[in-house]
C-alpha cells in the first residue's frame, strides 16, 4: 500500500460529480463474519447458514419465494472504494481490470450471489452461499431460473474456472 | 388497469422518504427494442447480438474481460415503478410477490442478466442474452463463474422451470 492507499499497479479514476439514481436498503444480511479477513474467499467457501432480514414494509413481496430452491441476492458493499478501474486483490498475482473480478471494489459496489434457500419464516430467509460481512445492506431478492441463469460450461480464461 | 394504474390484486407500499445510496450509470445498452412490448419475454427469448457501450472513463476496467465466455450484467430499469410488492405481470395468471418474479418492477429496479460475450472492441462489448430496451443504463459488468453462479438443477416450484 502506498501513502495514497494504492497497491502497485492499481489505477483510480475521477468518478462523476453526482449519482444518476438512488437505491433503497430493503433489509440487512446477517452472517458470522464481522471483519473482512474472516469472510470466505467466495460464496462457495462456506456452508454457513446466513439470514436475510427483509424490512417489514416489503413483507408481501415474499409471496411465492418459498417455492424457489435458489435465489439471486443483490447487496451493497458499502465499505468498498469505488474509484479503482485496475485493482490488485490480495490473492491475485497481478493487477486486474475491475470488471474481470468479483471484488466489492467497483464503481457500483453491488454484489450478486446465488444462494440456496433453506427456509422462509416471516421476513427472515435462511440461506447458504453468502460471503459478506454481517450487517451488509440488502438491495434485491430474485428467483434463480436455471434456464437463463445457469451456464455450467462457462469459462474464465485467466483463472481456468477459479473464483475471486 | 384501474384509474390509479393498478391491475387487480396488485399491492403498493409507501417507499422510504429518501434513498440510502447512489449509483452511477457507467454506460448504455444498445438493443433492437425501443418499446416495452417488443422486448423478448426473457433473456433467452432472442439470439440478437446487443452491444454494451461502456463510458470511456472506465476503459481500463475491461482488462481481462475478453477472457470470459460469459458475463453478469447489471442494469437499471429506469422506467419501472418501484412501489409494488405484489404485482400482476401480463403473462402470469395471478398476482405474484415482487421477489418471486424477475419483472423490472421492484424497490430497486436493477436487472441481472447472464450474457454470452462475443467480442470486445475498445469500450464496446457485443453480447447475446439481453432483453431490455434500447438505451438502458448499465451499472455493472462481472465475470460469470460457473463454480458459484451455475446451479443447473435449481427449481422454481410455481412455474416448474419457466422464466419471467
CA of residue A164 relative to chain centroid, distance? 11
Q: Report residue B2's pLDDT band, with 50, 70 and 90 as the boundaries.
A: low
Q: What is the mean pLDDT of chain B?
A: 90
Given pLDDT bands bounded at 50, 70 and 90, which one contains residue A40? Answer: confident
Q: Taking a C-beta distance cutoff of 8 angstroms, is the pair B23, B76 a contact?
A: yes
Q: Taking a C-beta distance cutoff of 8 angstroms, is the pair B81, B54 a contact?
A: no
Nearest CA in chain A to B128: A148
A-B interface: how many C-beta pairs under 8 angstroms?
283
Centroid of chain to Cα B61: 21
Instruction: Say yes or no to pLDDT of A161 above 70.
Output: no
In the prediction, which pLDDT does A46 show? 80
Residues of A in contact with B164 (CB under 8 A): 143, 145
pLDDT tens digit sequence for B52-62: 999 999 999 99
Average pLDDT value for residue range A14-41: 93
**Mean pLDDT, range B94-113, rounded to an integer:** 95
Q: pLDDT of A48-106, one tens digit each?
A: 999 999 999 999 999 999 999 999 999 999 889 999 999 998 777 789 999 999 999 99
Q: What is the mean pLDDT of residues B133-159?
A: 93
What mean pLDDT comes out for the span B150-154? 97
A-chain residues near B162 (CB < 8 A): 145, 147
Bridge partners (DSSP) of residue B119 are B126
Sorted by sequence, the CB contacts under 8 Å of residue A137 that are 6+ apart come out as A25, A27, A28, A29, A75, A76, A78, B20, B21
A108, B24 Cβ separation under 8 angstroms: yes
Chain-chain contact of A60 with B140 (C-beta, under 8 angstroms): no
Nearest CA distance, A3 vs chain B (angstrom):
22
Of B57, B137, B140, the CB nearest to A20: B137
Task: Round to whole Å and give the CA distance between A138 and B75.
Answer: 17
- Contact check, Cβ <8 Å, B145/A158: no
pTM above 0.80, yes or no: yes
Residue A85 and residue B58: Cβ atoms within 8 Å? yes
Distance between CA atoms of A113 and A119, rounded to whole angstroms? 17
Contacts for B163 with CB less than 8 Å, ≥ 6 apart: A145, A147, A148, B41, B42, B43, B44, B102
Give the pLDDT of residue A158. Answer: 57
Q: Is the Cβ pair B43, A100 closer than 8 Å?
A: no
Do the beta carbons of residue B148 and residue A130 sit within 8 Å?
A: no
Q: Which three cell numbers mark B50?
A: 446487443
Contact B131, B39 (CB under 8 A): yes
* Confidence check: pLDDT of B153 > 50: yes
Predicted local confidence at residue B40, as pLDDT: 81
Q: Which of A75, A101, A123 is nearest to A10 (CA)?
A: A101
Amino acid at each position: 500500500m502506498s501513502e495514497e492507499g494504492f497497491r502497485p499497479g492499481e489505477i483510480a479514476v475521477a468518478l462523476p460529480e453526482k449519482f444518476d439514481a438512488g437505491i433503497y436498503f430493503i433489509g440487512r444480511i446477517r452472517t458470522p463474519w464481522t471483519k473482512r479477513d474472516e469472510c470466505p474467499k467466495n460464496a462457495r467457501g462456506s456452508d454457513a447458514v446466513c439470514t436475510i432480514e427483509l424490512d417489514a414494509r416489503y413483507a408481501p413481496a415474499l409471496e411465492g419465494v418459498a417455492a424457489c430452491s435458489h435465489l439471486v441476492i443483490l447487496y451493497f458493499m458499502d465499505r468498498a472504494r469505488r474509484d479503482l478501474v485496475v485493482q490488485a486483490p490480495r490473492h491475485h498475482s497481478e493487477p486486474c481490470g475491475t470488471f474481470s473480478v468479483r471484488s466489492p471494489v467497483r464503481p457500483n459496489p453491488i454484489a450478486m450471489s446465488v444462494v440456496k434457500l433453506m427456509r422462509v419464516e416471516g421476513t427472515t430467509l435462511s440461506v447458504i452461499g453468502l460471503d459478506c460481512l454481517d450487517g451488509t445492506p440488502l438491495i434485491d431478492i430474485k428467483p434463480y431460473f436455471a434456464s437463463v441463469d445457469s451456464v455450467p460450461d462457462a469459462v474464465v480464461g485467466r483463472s481456468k474456472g477459479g473464483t475471486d
